[in-house]
Every structure is written in C-alpha cells, then in structure tokens.
Amino acid sequence: ETGVTQTPRHLVMGMTNKKSLKCEQHLGHNAMYWYKQSAKKPLELMFVYNFKEQTENNSVPSRFSPECPNSSHLFLHLHTLQPEDSALYLCASSQDRLLVETQYFGPGTRLLVL
C-alpha cells in the first residue's frame, strides 16, 4: 500500500533464538530507517541508512544488527533478545535522510520475545 513492505508481520521468539526482519521499498528512495514502537511510548529511531551506508545508530544494543545490501532492502538481525524488546518494529524510507518529512512507513513487524 505505501510502497514499503515488511516480513514477517508477526514473530514470536525465545531469548536464545536468532531471527531476521526484512524490509523492502519500491519507491526509489535512498534512505531507510528502523524504528521501535512500544506501547504508549514515542517512536524510537534505531538506525538510519543513506545510500546503503549506516549514518546513524541511536545507541542500540548489539543484539540488534542491521544490514542494508542495497537501497531497496533493509534487514534487522535479532539474537539473544530480552522480553523488553517486544514491540512493533517499523521500517521507513525517504528520498534522502534529510527529507524525513517525506517518510513512508511499512506496516511493521509485531515481535514478542518470550
């Protein structure tokens, strides 16, 4: 719908599991973002990529590992997560990292860590 797709839409994992979230954008944008959205809390920006290069990392724990193989795809690799990491993980893209006003969001991956 928005041109940004995310898979899976729902994920349940144990604390010792390793999983990956995938995001793909079909808008020809150059910047891609990962956000975390917890209940009743503001969106937290996790990572920003511009032209495949990571430009910002908001002090995210190393158990979250992003990967951006090209401008259309973004991954978030997860390992040894904690229950407090349960949240909605949103991917977004924009024409440029400075044009955040033109961000398009994907539908998110609802993650539950047991």
Partner 1 sequence: QKEVEQDPGPLSVPEGAIVSLNCTYSNSAFQYFMWYRQYSRKGPELLMYTYSSGNKEDGRFTAQVDKSSKYISLFIRDSQPSDSATYLCAMRPRETGGFKTIFGAGTRLFVKA
What's the one-letter identity of residue 10?
H
C-beta of 101: minimal distance to partner 1 in Å?
4
What's the one-letter identity of residue 51?
F
Query: Is 11 one of the binding residues for partner 1 (CB under 8 A)?
Result: no
Selected from 41, 53, 69, 70, the binder of partner 1 by CB under 8 A is 41
Query: Is 25 one of the binding residues for partner 1 (CB under 8 A)?
Result: no
Selected from 103, 112, 113, 114, the binder of partner 1 by CB under 8 A is 103
Query: Is 30 one of the binding residues for partner 1 (CB under 8 A)?
Result: no
Residues 42-71 that bind partner 1 (CB under 8 A): 42-43, 45, 48, 55-56, 58
- Cα separation, 3 vs 84, whole angstroms: 30
End-to-end CA distance of the chain: 31
The two three-digit tokens of residue 63, written as one number: 């158990």
Q: Are strands 10-13 and 109-113 parallel, antiparallel or unpaired?
A: parallel
